[in-house]
Amino acid sequence: MNEPATPPLVFEAVRDFLAKHAPFSRMDEQAFAFLVPRLALAYFAKDSVIVDRNAEFPPLVIIQSGAVASQTAGLDTLPDRVLTPGECFPVGALAAGGRPTRSYRAVEDVFAYLLAVDDFQALRRLSPSFEAYCTEAVTVLAQQSLAELQRHYSQIAADQHSLTRPLGELLPRAPVTCARDTPLGEAIARMREYGVRSIIVVGADGEAAGIFTLNDLRDRVVLQQLPLSTPVGAVATTDPLTLPAHATAADAIQQMAASGFHQVIVTDHGRVAGIVSERDLFALQRVSLRQVHHSIRSARSIAALAHVAGDIRNLTANLLAQGVAAEALTRTIAALNDALTRQVLTLVLQDHPLAGMNWCWLALGSEGRGEQTLATDQDNALIFAGDANLAETLRTRHELLGFAREANEALDRLGFPLCKGGIMAGNPQWCLTTDEWRARFTVWLAEPTPQALLNANIFFDFRPLFGDAALADALRDWLLARTQDNKLFLRLMVANALEAEPPLGLIRAFVVDDDPPHEGTLDLKTRGTRLFVDAGRVLALALGIDETGTADRLRRAGDKLGVERRHVDATVEAFHFLQVLRLRTQERGAAAAVNRIDPHALNEVDQRMLKEAFRQARKLQQRLKETYSFAL
């Protein structure tokens, strides 16, 4: 490539000026030889706009003399910052490939060097120090995106905490009720089953006739030594505090203060709709990790766990508002869902005598990777130790299937829908002995048909969740020993991972769908996170990595392949940005479009970050293609 001719004296003068200022002060001679001939000197009169915040593909501007004001709003507002000679802009916009979020105008006469956007990108590839500077600028963009996110969710949190909200929106669970003539023993058992401190006594038409609390149990039953056959109506408080569903939280607090009650029964057209306690009013939306874990551990029935899924959703929104890092956020959701599932299995196990059986519940798919979001169905399976006696193996499978089906149904009631494809432990196809799993995997590895590859994408992300983890660990070791040198299987897995391309456009920033139901949108899962997940899985199977999480797989693979940590970190951050964007979409979106966004409706910072995330996906796919070129 022929370099533009630049007089030696001019070259030296420009080079010496740039070398005094970061990031150019860290560049080598090769980078200067590329950069200096491509710079154009331009003049901007005082008060003229140098770069507008709506400009598309502006040049890099390096101030040679004069001063420039940077402003996030209109040009009639006060500047956020004044830039002086040696500083350059808009680095973040150019690095992320989007429009600037600020305008830049000359506050005095300005001379500046201009570098075209294509030359800017070429300089990034040529100079590691300049690339590092640009990466830091993108990190600043990420911080701006996080700040926007925090502002959004802080407003939501403020709205949720408002005492003007109607009580009907604050009901934490369905009402726990009983009739007047219900024996005390039965009423108390129901309170224990649902994990509540009070039970509402209702009349024949569903109206509130009284309330029985733990305090009533102490004062009116235990101290009076009444038999548990006593009707609950005889000891309940018969004139409870009630308010209609349209009354506000402020109304409830005022009534509680006046009456001395600590809970209010909420009614809808006279019928009991639920109960809101003093604790609910002050802590409903301020769910903590400790509270959620306590709710899970203390639950004694599936019904008592029903509200915990909502608590997890509320906690997720609060963590988003607090600016919790993306990776920590997704790991927290996964850990809480794991705890919830383990408690379900513990409770269901009470009705299924499986003593003496050696088995393990496997989490598959996104749950196996620890990457569940707020909208996810079930993907699970069972592995158990077979017996030399076929009849004994069949008996064990029969017992396990009964247990698994009840567990699948319980999880469905808690908001984890049954898998439409039937990939669940209660399906006989996926309740297998160790030898049967090995045989099934062997077929998929030897004959990697499209269906086999689809199964590999789901089942090869298995993780032990409950039971004897050694069964799953041994199966993982067996599998990895057979994937690392299987060139046919790896070739098809690589091709599968490269099948979906990042939705980046040549003219417009993003390629969106044009079919009527989804026109103008893109799916963040199938066209976003999937690109990272598929690549991470291939790398794990090819390199013998026993991790199942995508971020951990990418980090381990980077170490094994000798990839610079900063490049790996950029890839992982891009993946987590997409995960958090999915969480945001799911938290406030419709169920029918849980992963769909209109990328052009995002704020400009998020648009840039989205484009950079897709660019990182493209780089990851290119590295996968180069690393396993033998397979293609």
* Domain identity same for 52 and 85: yes
Q: What is the pLDDT of residue 602?
A: 86
Task: Answer yes or no: do 533 and 607 share one domain.
Answer: yes
The last residue of one of the domains, among 249, 283, 317, is: 283
From residue 231, alpha-carbon distances to 190, 191, 303, 532, 576 in Å are 14, 15, 24, 61, 56
User: Which domain CATH number covers 301?
Assistant: 3.30.460.10
Q: Are residues 418 and 309 in the same domain?
A: yes
Q: Tell me, what's the pLDDT at 139?
A: 56
Predicted pLDDT at 161: 47
Give how many domains the chain has, as a whole number: 4
The CA distance from 98 to 91, in Å, is 11
131 found inside a domain: no
Both 269 and 323 in one domain: the answer is no
Nearest to 103 by CA among 147, 134, 59, 71: 71
CB–CB of 292/338 below 8 Å? no
Q: The domain spanning residue 223 has which CATH number?
A: 3.10.580.10
**Could you tell me the two tokens for 181?**
């003539």
What lies within 8 Å, CB to CB, of 284 at 6+ separation is 170, 172, 314
Q: Is residue 188 part of a domain?
A: yes
Where does residue 492 fall: left (phi above 0), alpha (psi -120 to 50 degrees), or beta otherwise? alpha
Q: Which residues in the chain come in under a pLDDT of 70? A: 1-9, 72-80, 96-98, 136-164, 257-258, 282-290, 320-325, 506-508, 588-593, 630-632
For residue 153, is it within any domain? no
In a domain, 137, yes or no: no
Listed residues 220, 248, 283: the one ending a domain: 283
Q: How many CA atoms lie within 13 Å of 511's alpha carbon, on the beta-carbon side? A: 10
Q: Give the per-residue pLDDT at 382.
A: 98
Q: Find out whether 536 and 557 touch, Cβ atoms under 8 Å.
A: yes
Residue 528 lies in a domain: yes
Answer with the one of 447, 465, 483 that is the final residue of a domain: 483
pLDDT at 157: 47
**133 falls within a domain:** no
| Threshold 0.75, pTM exceeds | no
The reply to whether 296 and 260 lie within a common domain is: no
Q: In this predicted structure, what is the pLDDT of residue 158?
A: 46
What DSSP state is assigned to residue 527?
A: I
Residues 214 and 271 in one domain: yes
451, 567: one domain: no
- Confidence (pLDDT) at 592: 47
Q: In this structure, are 263 and 363 located in the same domain?
A: no
- pLDDT tens figures, 272-308: 999 988 777 755 445 566 677 778 888 888 888 877 7
Domain that includes residue 563, residue range: 492-631
The DSSP H or E segment spanning 401 is helix 390-413
What's the rounded Cα separation, in Å, for the pair 126 and 480?
38
The two structure tokens encoding residue 3: 């370099």
567-581 as b/e, with b when 16 or more CB fall inside 10 Å?
A: bbebbbbbbbbbbbb
250, 317: one domain = no
Query: Is residue 277 located within the same domain as residue 293?
Result: no
